[in-house]
Amino acid sequence: MEKKNIDWENLGFGYIKTDYRYVSDYKNGAWNEGGLIEDDKVVISECACVLQYAQTVFEGLKAYTTEDGRIVTFRPDLNAERMIQSAERLEMPVFPADRFVDAVTQTVKANAAYVPPYGSGATLYIRPYMFGSNAVIGVKPADEYQFRVFTTPVGHYFKGGVKPLTIRVCDFDRAAPHGTGHIKAGLNYAMSLHAIVDAHQKGYDENMYLDAATRKKVEETGGANFLFVTKDNTVVTPKSNSILPSITRRSLIHVAEEYLGLKVEEREVYLDEVEDFAECGLCGTAAVISPVGKIVDHGKEIFLPSGMHEMGPVTKKLYDTLTGIQMGRIEAPEGWIHVIE
Ligand code: PLP
Ligand code: COI
């Protein structure tokens, strides 16, 4: 299969239309058979529940070309599971996990020419999503839904590649204590748009959200979980019911413990203790592990000892091991790698 003529090395995190997408419709209480189509346009009622009341959930995962030339995805079963939890929270029908993995597999296979080559630094981002498609004007869930998967080749999420980021402690909240922060709903991202535009205008790369109840504890950023490293090399990740259960973070905990022999603590992290950490990173599918060099808390600048030029040593080991597993250079734990072809 011939690859598309794309400048893989210089891709940013943007949308490039690929040839095929998967669609399945839910009507009269059942999902139809579904399949691949070429048309990228979605046609729905002007009064669709997704347009009026934001009834939509999504997922994000990537396809990689491994060192030995296979195309693989990373733990798609966990994305399927999380999408089920997201759908249930928004009163949407669940798309069965085995069908989710099959839909991802079909879509990636059909767009294999867009899967960036091994060593290019780019990957194929996969976006499964689902939305209420029929007209509702009273506030209630839709009766009809569409589940879709599209793909787009991507490079680094943050401009400047793996250069350490500067983030600010944000005055806006991302999630309420009993709200929807733990699911991947479009509404969580809509409410973060003003905060991220404001952060960028002021020269910051991302927002550090605090817990809405006490504003004393670190939650996450708009699109990634936090990972800290103490001065004695313990990996610490914030525990909270209102952050997204990142698959990357859960995988890194295993990598830290089982591959690198590091101690890991999943616990509440107070803003007050951030200045004591040696390293900080953002982890997620899009972010992979992006190092943080500086955190600004209302004028108080906290410089991580790892500096503004490179990843800290533990972050680097985690990054190399995780990406090594994803690209087939390092043996993966059972069930982590799903081979497409
Ligand atoms: N937190 C938020 C708010 C996200 O949008 C994402 C991205 O999916 C993550 C964390 C990271 O999750 P994952 O590692 O499963 O991609
Ligand atoms: C992902 O990492 O897959 C996400 O969905 C994050 C988003 C901000 C791009």
The pLDDT assigned to 1 comes to 80
**Predicted confidence band at 162 (pLDDT cuts at 50, 70, 90)?**
confident
- pLDDT digit string, tens, across residues 21-39: 999 999 999 999 999 999 9
- Which residue has 């799903």 as its token pair? 338
Q: Is the same domain home to 178 and 313?
A: yes
> The tokens of 224 are what?
């990634």
Catalytic residues: 184
> Is residue 91 located within the same domain as residue 236?
no
For the segment 130-140, the average pLDDT, to the nearest whole number, is: 98
pLDDT tens-digit profile of 79-89?
Answer: 999 999 999 99
Could you tell me the residue range of the domain that residue 117 belongs to? 8-154
What's the pLDDT score for residue 330? 98
Q: In the predicted model, what is the mean pLDDT of the chain?
A: 97
Which residue, by CA, sits nearest to atom 7 of ligand 2? 223
By three-state DSSP, how is residue 195 classified?
Answer: helix
Same domain, yes or no, for 145 and 171? no
Interval 168-196 mean pLDDT: 98
Ligand nearest to the CA of 129: 2
Does the beta carbon of 312 lie inside 6 Å of ligand 1?
no
CATH code of 257's domain: 3.20.10.10
C-alpha 56 – ligand 1 centre gap (Å): 16
Residue type, 170: C
Report, as an integer, the average pLDDT of 237-258: 98
For residue 187, pLDDT beyond 90: yes
Q: Which ligand has an atom closest to residue 74 CA?
A: 1
Domain shared by 150 and 172, yes or no: no
State the average pLDDT over residues 294-314.
Answer: 96
For the segment 229-235, the average pLDDT, to the nearest whole number, is 98
Distance CA 337, CA 76 (A): 8
- The predicted structure's pLDDT at residue 231: 97
pLDDT band for 283, please (50, 70, 90 cuts). very high
Q: Are residues 150 and 171 in the same domain?
A: no
Residue 3 lies in a domain: no
CATH number for position 111? 3.30.470.10
User: Does 128 fall in a domain?
Assistant: yes
183 and 306 inside one domain: yes
266 and 302 belong to one structural domain: yes
Which ligand 2 atom sits closest to the C-alpha of 248? 2
Could you tell me if 146 and 208 lie in one domain? no
CA distances, 141 to each of 30, 93, 133, 190, 275 (Å): 15, 10, 10, 19, 45
Q: Is 104 inside any structural domain?
A: yes
pLDDT on residue 273: 97
Query: Cα separations (Å) of 160 from 78, 89, 155?
Result: 30, 36, 11
Nearest CA to ligand 2 atom 3: 60
Closest CA to 205 of 139, 260, 161, 257: 161
pLDDT at 172 over 90: yes
Closest ligand 1 atom, residue 79 Cα: 15
pLDDT tens digits along 146-160: 999 999 999 999 987
Percent over 90 (pLDDT), the chain: 99
Among 101, 124, 154, the domain boundary falls at 154
Q: Using pLDDT thresholds of 50, 70 and 90, give the confidence band for residue 267.
A: very high
Candidates 51, 50, 57; CA nearest to 84 is 57
**Domain final residue pick, 89, 121, 154:** 154
Work out the angle at residue 292's Cα, subtended by the Cα atoms of residues 221 and 295, and round it to the nearest 5 degrees: 75
Tens-digit pLDDT profile for residues 91-132: 999 999 999 999 999 999 999 999 999 999 999 999 999 999
184 and 266 part of one domain: yes
Distance (angstroms) between ligand 1 centre and the Cα of 227 equals 13
CA 60 to ligand 1 centroid distance, Å? 8
Rounded-to-integer distance, Cα 218 and Cα 79, Å: 24
Q: How far apart are CA 248 and CA 172, in angstroms?
A: 25
pLDDT of residue 339: 98
Q: Are residues 104 and 146 located together in one domain of the fold?
A: yes
Give residues (CB < 6 A) around ligand 2: 60, 223, 284-286
**The pLDDT value given to residue 159:** 85
Alpha helices in 70-207 (DSSP H): 76-89, 97-110, 186-190, 193-201
Last residue of a domain, one of 115, 135, 154: 154
Residue 223 domain flag:
yes
Ligand 2 midpoint to CA 157 (Å) = 9
Instruction: List all residues 6 or more positions away from 136 whose beta carbon is below 8 Å from its beta carbon.
Output: 47, 48, 49, 52, 53, 142
Looking at the 3D structure of the chain, how many domains does it have? 2
Q: Has residue 80 been placed in a domain?
A: yes
**Is 69 domain-assigned?**
yes
Q: Residues 99, 229: one domain?
A: no
| One domain for residues 234 and 310 | yes
Summarised one tens digit per residue, pLDDT across range 35-79 is 999 999 999 999 999 999 999 999 999 999 999 999 999 999 999
For the CA of 61, the closest atom of ligand 2 is 3
Residue 338 CA to chain centroid, in angstroms? 18
Q: How does DSSP assign 133-184, residue by residue?
A: -SB--SSS--S-EEEEEEEEEE--SSTTTTSPEEEEE-SS-S--TTSSTTS-
Query: Which tokens is 308 given?
Result: 């503004």
